[in-house]
Amino acid sequence: MRRSFKAIEHQKLKPWLRRIRPYSHVNYAGIAVGYKPHLDGGGSTFGQDFVPMLRARGMPKVNRAFEWCAGPGFIGFSLLAHGLAETLCLADVEPDAVAACHRTVMRNGLEDRVAVYLSDNLTDIPASEQWDLVVANPPHFAQGGVGQRRFHDAGWNIHRDFFRSVPKHLKAGGIILLQENNLEATPETFAAMIAESGLTLIFVRQPSAEHPQIFYLGIKRTGDITPAWAQA
Protein backbone atom coordinates (compact mmCIF):
# COMPACT_ATOMS: atom_id res chain seq x y z
CA MET A 1 0.00 0.00 0.00
CA ARG A 2 2.78 2.42 0.94
CA ARG A 3 4.64 1.66 -2.31
CA SER A 4 1.48 2.27 -4.33
CA PHE A 5 0.95 5.67 -2.66
CA LYS A 6 4.57 6.64 -3.31
CA ALA A 7 4.14 5.80 -7.00
CA ILE A 8 0.99 7.90 -7.25
CA GLU A 9 2.71 10.74 -5.42
CA HIS A 10 5.68 10.68 -7.81
CA GLN A 11 3.74 10.19 -11.04
CA LYS A 12 0.68 12.35 -10.47
CA LEU A 13 0.68 14.48 -7.32
CA LYS A 14 4.12 16.05 -7.61
CA PRO A 15 3.74 17.02 -11.31
CA TRP A 16 0.34 18.57 -10.54
CA LEU A 17 1.76 20.54 -7.60
CA ARG A 18 4.60 21.79 -9.78
CA ARG A 19 2.17 23.04 -12.43
CA ILE A 20 0.10 25.06 -9.97
CA ARG A 21 3.04 26.41 -7.98
CA PRO A 22 3.62 30.12 -8.71
CA TYR A 23 6.81 31.26 -10.41
CA SER A 24 9.67 32.70 -8.42
CA HIS A 25 11.92 35.33 -9.96
CA VAL A 26 15.56 36.35 -9.79
CA ASN A 27 16.88 39.57 -11.32
CA TYR A 28 20.10 39.67 -13.32
CA ALA A 29 21.10 43.25 -14.19
CA GLY A 30 17.55 44.16 -15.16
CA ILE A 31 16.34 40.84 -16.62
CA ALA A 32 13.78 39.12 -14.38
CA VAL A 33 14.14 35.35 -14.83
CA GLY A 34 11.13 33.25 -13.92
CA TYR A 35 11.57 29.73 -12.57
CA LYS A 36 10.20 26.99 -10.37
CA PRO A 37 12.55 25.28 -7.91
CA HIS A 38 12.31 21.83 -9.50
CA LEU A 39 13.87 23.28 -12.67
CA ASP A 40 17.01 24.61 -10.99
CA GLY A 41 19.99 22.26 -11.28
CA GLY A 42 22.47 24.85 -9.98
CA GLY A 43 22.23 27.56 -12.63
CA SER A 44 21.09 30.12 -10.08
CA THR A 45 24.04 29.39 -7.76
CA PHE A 46 27.34 28.10 -9.14
CA GLY A 47 26.03 28.72 -12.67
CA GLN A 48 26.46 32.43 -12.02
CA ASP A 49 30.23 31.93 -11.86
CA PHE A 50 30.31 32.09 -15.66
CA VAL A 51 30.01 35.89 -15.64
CA PRO A 52 33.03 36.71 -13.41
CA MET A 53 35.07 33.93 -15.00
CA LEU A 54 34.49 35.21 -18.54
CA ARG A 55 35.14 38.78 -17.46
CA ALA A 56 38.39 37.75 -15.77
CA ARG A 57 39.49 36.09 -19.02
CA GLY A 58 38.68 39.25 -20.97
CA MET A 59 36.09 37.72 -23.30
CA PRO A 60 34.61 40.40 -25.57
CA LYS A 61 30.85 40.46 -26.14
CA VAL A 62 29.87 37.62 -28.47
CA ASN A 63 27.14 37.93 -31.06
CA ARG A 64 25.31 34.73 -30.16
CA ALA A 65 25.53 32.47 -27.13
CA PHE A 66 23.80 29.15 -26.55
CA GLU A 67 22.90 27.55 -23.23
CA TRP A 68 22.66 23.78 -23.52
CA CYS A 69 20.49 22.00 -20.90
CA ALA A 70 19.23 25.48 -20.12
CA GLY A 71 16.53 24.80 -17.56
CA PRO A 72 14.99 28.25 -16.94
CA GLY A 73 18.01 29.89 -18.61
CA PHE A 74 19.74 31.25 -15.51
CA ILE A 75 23.17 31.24 -17.17
CA GLY A 76 22.14 32.42 -20.62
CA PHE A 77 19.93 35.27 -19.43
CA SER A 78 22.69 36.35 -17.04
CA LEU A 79 25.22 36.52 -19.91
CA LEU A 80 22.75 38.60 -21.90
CA ALA A 81 21.97 40.89 -18.97
CA HIS A 82 25.62 41.51 -18.15
CA GLY A 83 26.55 42.43 -21.71
CA LEU A 84 28.54 39.31 -22.56
CA ALA A 85 26.23 38.27 -25.40
CA GLU A 86 24.21 40.27 -27.92
CA THR A 87 21.71 37.48 -28.66
CA LEU A 88 20.87 34.17 -27.04
CA CYS A 89 19.66 30.67 -27.87
CA LEU A 90 18.25 28.36 -25.18
CA ALA A 91 17.22 24.71 -25.36
CA ASP A 92 16.02 22.02 -22.97
CA VAL A 93 14.24 18.67 -23.18
CA GLU A 94 11.88 19.54 -20.30
CA PRO A 95 8.66 21.32 -21.43
CA ASP A 96 8.31 23.12 -18.07
CA ALA A 97 11.80 24.58 -18.49
CA VAL A 98 11.04 25.76 -22.01
CA ALA A 99 7.79 27.32 -20.79
CA ALA A 100 9.74 29.20 -18.10
CA CYS A 101 12.21 30.49 -20.71
CA HIS A 102 9.39 31.70 -22.96
CA ARG A 103 7.79 33.44 -19.99
CA THR A 104 11.03 35.29 -19.22
CA VAL A 105 11.44 36.30 -22.87
CA MET A 106 7.95 37.79 -23.01
CA ARG A 107 8.12 39.42 -19.57
CA ASN A 108 11.34 41.24 -20.51
CA GLY A 109 10.53 42.05 -24.15
CA LEU A 110 13.38 39.92 -25.50
CA GLU A 111 11.59 38.35 -28.46
CA ASP A 112 14.02 39.90 -30.95
CA ARG A 113 17.13 38.71 -29.05
CA VAL A 114 16.32 35.25 -27.66
CA ALA A 115 15.27 31.99 -29.32
CA VAL A 116 14.01 29.04 -27.26
CA TYR A 117 13.78 25.41 -28.40
CA LEU A 118 12.21 22.30 -26.92
CA SER A 119 14.81 19.77 -27.99
CA ASP A 120 16.11 16.35 -26.99
CA ASN A 121 19.76 17.35 -26.79
CA LEU A 122 20.43 19.25 -30.09
CA THR A 123 18.11 17.12 -32.25
CA ASP A 124 15.43 19.75 -32.85
CA ILE A 125 17.65 22.81 -33.19
CA PRO A 126 17.86 24.08 -36.80
CA ALA A 127 21.18 24.07 -38.63
CA SER A 128 20.83 27.84 -39.03
CA GLU A 129 21.62 28.23 -35.32
CA GLN A 130 25.33 29.12 -35.22
CA TRP A 131 27.04 30.05 -31.97
CA ASP A 132 30.14 31.93 -30.84
CA LEU A 133 29.84 30.61 -27.29
CA VAL A 134 28.19 27.54 -25.79
CA VAL A 135 27.72 27.36 -22.02
CA ALA A 136 26.14 24.67 -19.89
CA ASN A 137 25.60 23.19 -16.47
CA PRO A 138 24.58 19.75 -17.78
CA PRO A 139 23.58 16.67 -15.76
CA HIS A 140 26.63 15.84 -13.65
CA PHE A 141 26.15 12.24 -12.56
CA ALA A 142 26.29 8.93 -14.38
CA GLN A 143 25.48 7.01 -11.18
CA GLY A 144 23.64 9.49 -8.95
CA GLY A 145 20.42 11.41 -9.46
CA VAL A 146 18.64 8.51 -11.14
CA GLY A 147 15.18 9.53 -12.33
CA GLN A 148 15.98 13.26 -12.26
CA ARG A 149 16.76 14.84 -15.63
CA ARG A 150 18.54 17.76 -13.99
CA PHE A 151 21.21 15.49 -12.54
CA HIS A 152 21.43 12.05 -14.18
CA ASP A 153 23.28 11.21 -17.41
CA ALA A 154 23.29 7.42 -17.68
CA GLY A 155 26.56 6.21 -19.20
CA TRP A 156 27.38 9.84 -20.05
CA ASN A 157 25.26 9.36 -23.17
CA ILE A 158 23.79 12.88 -23.05
CA HIS A 159 27.31 14.32 -23.08
CA ARG A 160 28.44 11.95 -25.82
CA ASP A 161 25.53 12.90 -28.08
CA PHE A 162 26.11 16.59 -27.42
CA PHE A 163 29.79 16.39 -28.38
CA ARG A 164 28.88 14.59 -31.60
CA SER A 165 26.22 17.13 -32.54
CA VAL A 166 27.64 20.50 -31.50
CA PRO A 167 30.51 21.02 -33.98
CA LYS A 168 28.13 21.83 -36.86
CA HIS A 169 26.60 24.64 -34.77
CA LEU A 170 29.88 26.35 -33.87
CA LYS A 171 31.04 29.42 -35.70
CA ALA A 172 34.75 29.61 -36.58
CA GLY A 173 36.57 30.06 -33.29
CA GLY A 174 33.48 29.19 -31.26
CA ILE A 175 34.11 28.03 -27.70
CA ILE A 176 32.26 25.54 -25.49
CA LEU A 177 32.39 26.00 -21.71
CA LEU A 178 30.95 23.24 -19.55
CA GLN A 179 30.61 23.09 -15.78
CA GLU A 180 31.24 19.56 -14.49
CA ASN A 181 31.30 17.96 -11.04
CA ASN A 182 34.32 16.20 -9.56
CA LEU A 183 32.16 13.94 -7.37
CA GLU A 184 31.73 11.65 -10.39
CA ALA A 185 33.91 13.03 -13.17
CA THR A 186 37.32 14.35 -14.11
CA PRO A 187 38.45 15.96 -17.38
CA GLU A 188 39.63 12.51 -18.47
CA THR A 189 36.04 11.22 -18.20
CA PHE A 190 35.16 13.23 -21.31
CA ALA A 191 38.51 13.37 -23.13
CA ALA A 192 37.87 10.52 -25.58
CA MET A 193 34.32 11.71 -26.34
CA ILE A 194 35.63 15.19 -27.09
CA ALA A 195 38.44 13.99 -29.37
CA GLU A 196 36.23 11.49 -31.23
CA SER A 197 33.78 14.29 -32.05
CA GLY A 198 36.32 16.50 -33.80
CA LEU A 199 36.79 18.72 -30.77
CA THR A 200 39.81 19.69 -28.69
CA LEU A 201 40.02 20.32 -24.95
CA ILE A 202 41.93 23.61 -24.62
CA PHE A 203 41.80 24.31 -20.90
CA VAL A 204 40.53 23.09 -17.55
CA ARG A 205 39.59 25.56 -14.82
CA GLN A 206 39.90 23.93 -11.44
CA PRO A 207 37.22 24.28 -8.72
CA SER A 208 37.04 27.45 -6.65
CA ALA A 209 36.97 27.60 -2.86
CA GLU A 210 33.35 28.70 -3.04
CA HIS A 211 32.24 25.75 -5.21
CA PRO A 212 34.84 23.01 -4.61
CA GLN A 213 33.08 20.34 -6.70
CA ILE A 214 32.67 22.38 -9.90
CA PHE A 215 35.33 22.51 -12.61
CA TYR A 216 35.19 23.94 -16.14
CA LEU A 217 36.08 22.42 -19.49
CA GLY A 218 37.01 24.80 -22.31
CA ILE A 219 36.58 23.14 -25.71
CA LYS A 220 36.93 24.21 -29.35
CA ARG A 221 36.49 22.59 -32.75
CA THR A 222 39.74 20.91 -33.79
CA GLY A 223 41.63 23.07 -36.27
CA ASP A 224 39.95 26.33 -35.32
CA ILE A 225 42.07 29.23 -34.09
CA THR A 226 41.64 29.69 -30.34
CA PRO A 227 40.50 33.21 -29.39
CA ALA A 228 42.97 35.01 -27.13
CA TRP A 229 40.58 35.00 -24.17
CA ALA A 230 40.19 31.19 -24.29
CA GLN A 231 43.85 30.26 -24.51
CA ALA A 232 45.13 28.09 -21.68
Burial (CB < 10 A; 0-12, 13-18, 19+), residue 80, is: buried
Span 160-169, mean pLDDT?
A: 98
pLDDT digits (tens, 9 = 90+) for 179-197: 999 999 999 999 999 999 9
Q: Compute the average pLDDT of residues 19-42.
A: 91
pLDDT, mean over the chain: 92
pLDDT band at 10 (very low <50, low <70, confident <90, very high): very low
Q: Are strands 214-221 and 170-181 parallel, antiparallel or unpaired?
A: antiparallel
| Spatial CB neighbours of 186, under 8 Å, sequence gap ≥ 6 | none
Tell me the per-residue pLDDT of 100-138, one tens digit each, with 9 for 90 and over: 999 999 999 999 999 999 999 999 999 999 999 999 999
Q: Give the range among 12-16, 81-85, 141-145 with minimum mean pLDDT.
A: 12-16
Closest residue by Cα to residue 113 from 84, 86, 92, 79: 86
180 Cβ contact list (under 8 Å, min separation 6): 138, 140, 187, 189, 190, 214, 215, 216, 217
State the pLDDT at residue 20. 62
| pLDDT, average across residues 38-65 | 97
CATH architecture of 24-230: 3-Layer(aba) Sandwich (3.40)
Residues 184, 144 contacting (CB under 8 angstroms): yes
pLDDT at 175 over 50: yes
Beta bridge partners of 181: 214
Neighbours of 38 (CB within 10 A): 17
pLDDT band at 7 (very low <50, low <70, confident <90, very high): very low
User: Which residues 6+ apart lie within 8 Å of 29 measured at CB?
Assistant: 78, 81, 82, 83
Predicted local distance difference test score (pLDDT) of residue 149? 76
Question: Does the pLDDT of residue 2 top 90, yes or no?
Answer: no
